[in-house]
Amino acid sequence: MLRIGPAGWSYPDWTGYVYPSRRPRGFHEAAFLSKFFDTIEINTSFYQPLKQETAKQWVDLVSGNRNFVTHDVAFTTGGSAAEDERAVRAGFDVLRAAGKLGAVLLHFHRTKENMAHLSAVLLRFRDYPLVVEVRHDTWNAPETLALLHEHSAGICNIDQPIIGRSLAPSAQATSPVGYVRLHGRRYDTWFTDDENVPAHERYNYLYSAEELEPWIARVRKVSEHTQRAFVITNNHFQGKAVVNALQLISILKRQKVKVPEPLRQHYPELNEIADQPPAEPTLFPLDRRNEVTK
């Protein structure tokens, strides 16, 4: 099973790109995206535990897509106490009970203490399908893969600017869950501390067909060695993650895809993979009653 989708959905710059400029009553981003994708990565829980009522709302919002059977959830860990752990589990368990929880993504930075901390977290949350994302090459060691194998935790294969000892692209599989995450390649803004550069510029990147090609091979390899695999595009600015996710779906699943109408107007290359022709432009008759004449 292979599922492909974007990371997150709450981006103001998606209005007029992914979402309609004028949103109808009752519009919600998650429900809208579930018409085009079978998975979305939830980023809310990276910053704070996911509330039960929020998780229940999301389950209802995506119920219109029967194939939307999983969410990918990212969250930070910090040696939480029992009370914090209960709060983390509360939201996850709602998604799991509804059959919507595909994986829990753990982010770790490399320190001497973090290998022991990672082991503890993998043990504490072992009842969830876990995936670990690391970005530094020092994690690229046999003991890291052995630890993930031991705990049946997946490894996140990432694409990012290769600066210094940043982790290079890979196609590893250490558990039944495979994971690929594409962040874009903005070398000029990836580690910038320039306050004049907006935060979104880090993810303002559109992959070309040539850049996606080697990742298509890696995704296929990961899929062959796992029971279910997820590909998440995090190059989100102005809907670029949605563009590349749709392109990957079309190539990897060999099918035409449904495309949000505003998006194809900004990225006409999507017309090649869209399952419907472009919408005809709306014409408005001239109303001369409001003209000002001299």
Write down the pLDDT at residue 87. 84
Write down the pLDDT at residue 290. 42
- In which domain, by residue range, is 71 found? 2-290
Cβ neighbours of residue 166 under 8 Å, at least 6 residues apart?
Answer: 135, 136, 137, 160
Write down the pLDDT at residue 71. 43
Write down the pLDDT at residue 287. 45
CA distance 164 to 193: 16
Q: What are phi and psi of 38, to 5 degrees?
A: -100, 5
Distance of CA 215 to the CA centre of its chain: 15
The structure tokens listed for 220 are 């296929």
**Long-range own/partner contacts, residues 77-81 (CB < 8 A, 24 or more apart):** 77/106, 77/107, 77/108, 77/117, 77/121, 79/117, 79/120
Contact 249, 257 (CB under 8 A): yes
Sign of CA dihedral 283, 285, 286, 287: negative
Write down the pLDDT at residue 154. 95
Contact 191, 252 (CB under 8 A): no
Write down the pLDDT at residue 66. 60
- 156: domain CATH number? 3.20.20.410
Contact 129, 104 (CB under 8 A): yes
Please report, in tens digits, the pLDDT of each residue of the chain (294 residues total): 999 999 999 999 999 999 999 999 999 999 999 999 999 998 776 666 678 888 888 788 777 766 564 444 444 444 445 777 888 888 889 889 988 888 999 887 766 677 888 888 899 999 999 999 988 888 888 888 999 999 999 999 999 999 998 999 999 999 999 999 999 999 999 888 888 888 889 999 999 999 999 999 999 999 999 999 999 999 999 999 999 999 999 999 999 999 999 999 999 999 999 998 887 655 445 443 344 433
Count the domains in the chain: 1
* DSSP, res 47: T
